[in-house]
Chain A
Amino acid sequence: ELKVEQNPLFLSMQEGKNYTIYCNYSTTSDRLYWYRQDPGKSLESLFVLLSNGAVKQEGRLMASLDTKARLSTLHITAAVHDLSATYFCAVDIEDSRDDKIIFGKGTRLHILP
């Protein structure tokens, strides 16, 4: 059974600092997603990573994928308060008909002004 583990689950950091959220998964996958969720809101797609070594950047967020290590990272550069949210990684199972995406537990990020 596919397991997706994120760490840390909760992160409180100062504005201007850098930090990384880690996402490990337990089986081969051909697609990894990062989503952002604000309290009481839906899931906003941030990144889709499709291949080993993929790196994508949007503003202060950068996501990377190492399929051999089954590891994805979401790096936050010079954090600002607006980035406070819960971040989920999610993994699509390989060799499926896109049947399901399994989510990690989420990392609740709180950025202090």
Chain B
Amino acid sequence: EPEVTQTPSHQVTQMGQEVILRCVPISNHLYFYWYRQILGQKVEFLVSFYNNEISEKSEIFDDQFSVERPDGSNFTLKIRSTKLEDSAMYFCASSMGGLNTEAFFGQGTRLTVV
């Protein structure tokens, strides 16, 4: 069964460092998303991506964040200069779009900023 895969599963980084979280969405999906979940809290929308551009982003997704789909299969989230409060679980999701679609989530990357 097709699935969304994310790497790494866990990343520890020093404050101020850049991190890149990687996702491989399901191959025929057209819409891609990043969400984050701070430990024990709700799942928060960060950004959606369609047709090679950002279609919507939340206020969390500031200038420190960027997304890219560099090669038609990977979908990456970059955090330029990590802060302690960026520590969270980051989920990638993808969907086909259209009325009967649903979003499928990857297993997540646990980012720990120290």
Contact = CB atoms under 8 A, between A and B. Distances in A.
Given A30-B99, A42-B108, A97 B45 contact: no
A88 B91 contact: no
Interface stretch (A11-19, A64-72, A76-84, A98-106): A98-106
A98 to B, nearest CB: 5
A99 B91 contact: no
A101 B44 contact: no
A43 B43 contact: yes
Interface in B6-40: 31, 33, 35
Given A30-B99, A98-B97, A41 B107 contact: yes
Chain B interface size, as a band, is 20 to 34
Contacts of A42: 91, 105-108
A25 interface: no
A104 B37 CA distance: 12
Interface stretch (B48-56, B62-70, B79-87): B48-56
A48 B56 CA distance: 22
A99 B48 contact: yes
Interface residues of A, number: 23
A48 B102 contact: yes
Contacts of B102: 31, 33, 45, 48
Nearest to B107: A42
27 contacts: A35-B105, A42-B91, A42-B106, A43-B91, A45-B102, A45-B103, A45-B104, A50-B99, A88-B43, A96-B56, A97-B31, A98-B31, A98-B97, A98-B98, A98-B101, A99-B50, A100-B33, A101-B33, A101-B93, A101-B103, A102-B45, A103-B35, A103-B42, A103-B44, A103-B45, A105-B41, A105-B42
Interface of B: 31, 33, 35, 41-45, 48, 50, 55-56, 58, 91, 93, 95, 97-108
